[in-house]
Amino acid sequence: MLPSSLFPSTDFFQALEGLEEPQRSIEKARVLRWLTETRSAFPDAATLTQQTTSTQSSGYLPALPSSASEPAPISSVDTTFEIAAEASPAQPNIGDLHRRLKAVEAAVVHPPAKRRKRKTKIQAGAESSLLPAPSSTFGINPARLERHHLDETELSIKRFLQGQIRSQLYAAMQYKVGDRMPCHGYGSKPDDPNLLWPDFSQNINGPCNRLLQMRATMMVLEDAKNHPENIPEEYREKWLNSAVLLELARISWPHLKAVWNSQRLEASDGGADKRKKASAGRRGERRRTRAAQMRKALKDFCLERHLDPLIVTPELVHDEWVGEEWSCDEEDGTKSSKWRESLYATGKITADERDEDDALFAVLEIKRPEWMDLEVCVDLVSVYPW
DNA sequence: CCATTACGACCAAGTACCTG
DNA sequence: CAGGTACTTGGTCGTAATGG
């Protein structure tokens, strides 16, 4: 099995090995062209080996400013993204290309260090409260950092790039939200060399899957070259490189697979599971909405009575305490005439509604624990009259 | 150790409904 | 009917648990 985060181009060439011709040649040509045109993400071999032996991270290779590393033997090697963008579309420098390919080979010889062990929740929490801006994240692929290690700007950069990667993954397999998720071995793939399909029978590291991730990475880098203004200049070096983007592609991967899995499940169980989840989702959202409304109302309540809403609100309102609104029809997927009869008896619905045969109708029954009974609440209010 | 799964939370876009 | 609000839904992410 492949290690999780080899240097991306290494991954790419390994992925290529698993391919049939002519796809292999086509993709190889594509990446070679990319190597000659994109200079952002390929440190030279010296930096590479130095990094792989010293860093404890996931194989991410930060594009060090050339001033910070060794005096760059050849300045073009370490060029940053912006320089690449303004570089003249000169002929590809063969020597340069050769050197970068050597870096790729070096990465095979010196695979990156193992990933750091994940912290427990408690450790993470303690750390984040004690260390506001840990400088120790240097050298770690920013795509792998947890949220509290990123500031607002970087979070939005990550969101943006994640979206870009996602669209490129979708584009490469010609998938749209709502479509059937393609997969090798299911249906016949059109004979289009630009079309890449995932193979969910393999894991995230399967050759086709790697290839897809690499394609998305390249396309985003390509796009960034044409639209550098999308990322603030001071963040480009850190975020716009193949290691980060490939990691983002890997982060999106489980979702693709989830779409695939749920589509298959839906086909096999007739959508029962989907309905059940949808129902739970609706109840949850209803509950959150109710709770949010209560909080909103409490704000005014507190203002009128000179109470601190920051203290009072969390004490009085909790999503879990709101109770649930159920509709018998929608929650179990079957229409219950008994339930309708009882609703009719209480005057909640008309006789027509009771006998209505169409799918769902929107009468909800509020379920809540006994202590939430209105009379209990009224008593409480009389005991604690604010 | 790492990949995968499961699940809750959040968000944004879409839709339904209400009101002036 | 426009504009606003409530509600639904789908997509994504973070992370704990699970499994190989």
Same domain, A178 and A163: yes
Contact A43, A64 (CB under 8 A): yes
Q: What is the mean pLDDT of chain A?
A: 58
Work out the percent of chain A whose per-residue pLDDT is above 90: 0
Is pLDDT larger for residue A88 or for residue A149?
A149
Does residue A325 lie in a domain region? yes
Domain end among A269, A296, A317 = A269
Is pLDDT larger for residue A343 or for residue A252?
A252
Same domain, A307 and A258: no
Domain end among A249, A269, A289 = A269
Average pLDDT over residues A292-304: 68
Q: How far is the CA of A327 from the C1' of B1 (A)?
A: 46
Express each pLDDT in A111-126 by its tens digit.
232 222 222 222 233 3
Does residue A342 lie in a domain region? yes
Work out the percent of chain A whose per-residue pLDDT is above 70: 28
Distant-in-sequence, close-in-space partners of A184: CB < 8 Å, separation ≥ 6: A197, A198, A199, A201, A208
Same domain, A196 and A58: yes
Same domain, A28 and A97: yes
Does residue A207 lie in a domain region? yes
Q: Could you list the protein residues whose CB lies below 7 A from any atom in strand C? A: A 118, 120-121, 124, 146-148, 158-159, 162-163, 166, 177-178, 251-252, 254-255, 258-259, 278, 281-282, 285-286, 289, 293
Amino acid at A285: E
Q: What is the 3-state secondary structure (H, E, C) of chain A?
A: CCCCCCCHHHHHHHHHHCCCCCHHHHHHHHHHHHHHHCCCCCCCHHHHHHHHHHCCCCCCCCCCCCCCCCCCCCHHHHCCHHHHHHCCCCCCCHHHHHHHHHHHHHHHHCCCCCCCCCCCHHHHHHHHHHCCCCHHHCCCCHHHCCHHHCCHHHHHHHHHHHHHHHHHHHHHHCCCCCCCCCECCECCCCCCCCCCCCCCCCCCCCHHHHHHHHHHHHHHHHHHHHCHHHCCHHHHHHHCCHHHHHHHHHHHHHHHHHHHHHHHHHHHHCCHHHHHHHHHHHHHHHHHHHHHHHHHHHHHHHHHCCCCHHHHHHHHCCHHHCCEEECHHHHHCCCCHHHHHHHHHCCCCCHHHHHCCCCCCCCCEEECCHHHCHHHHHHHHHHCCC
Is pLDDT larger for residue A122 or for residue A302?
A302
Average pLDDT over residues A139-150: 63
Is pLDDT larger for residue A99 or for residue A28?
A28
Domain end among A248, A269, A290 = A269
Residue A290: predicted pLDDT: 64
Same domain, A171 and A318: no
Same domain, A149 and A64: yes
Same domain, A249 and A277: no
Nucleotide with smallest C1' distance to residue A254 CA: B4
Same domain, A38 and A154: yes
Does residue A42 lie in a domain region? yes
Does residue A349 lie in a domain region? yes
Does residue A130 lie in a domain region? no
Positions of strand B less than 7 angstroms from a protein CB: 1-6, 8-11, 17
Euclidean distance between CA atoms A49 and A32, whole angstroms: 22
A126-130, A169-173, A328-332 — most confident range: A169-173
Average pLDDT over residues A229-249: 78
Same domain, A239 and A376: no
Express each pLDDT in A340-353 by its tens digit.
666 666 665 566 65
Is residue A370 very low, low, confident or very high in pLDDT (cuts 50, 70, 90)? low
Residue A194, pLDDT above cutoff 50: yes
Nucleotide with smallest C1' distance to residue A119 CA: C15
Domain that holds residue A285: 272-383
Same domain, A265 and A278: no
Average pLDDT over residues A88-115: 34
Angle between helices A152-173 and A242-269 (to 10 degrees): 60
Express each pLDDT in A166-185 by its tens digit.
778 877 877 776 667 778 87
Residue A352: predicted pLDDT: 61
Same domain, A187 and A262: yes
Residue A293: predicted pLDDT: 63
Does residue A125 lie in a domain region? no
Does residue A255 lie in a domain region? yes
Same domain, A234 and A293: no
Among the residue ranges A65-74, A195-204, A222-231, the one predicted with the least confidence is A65-74
Residue A322: predicted pLDDT: 61
Tally of domains within chain A: 2
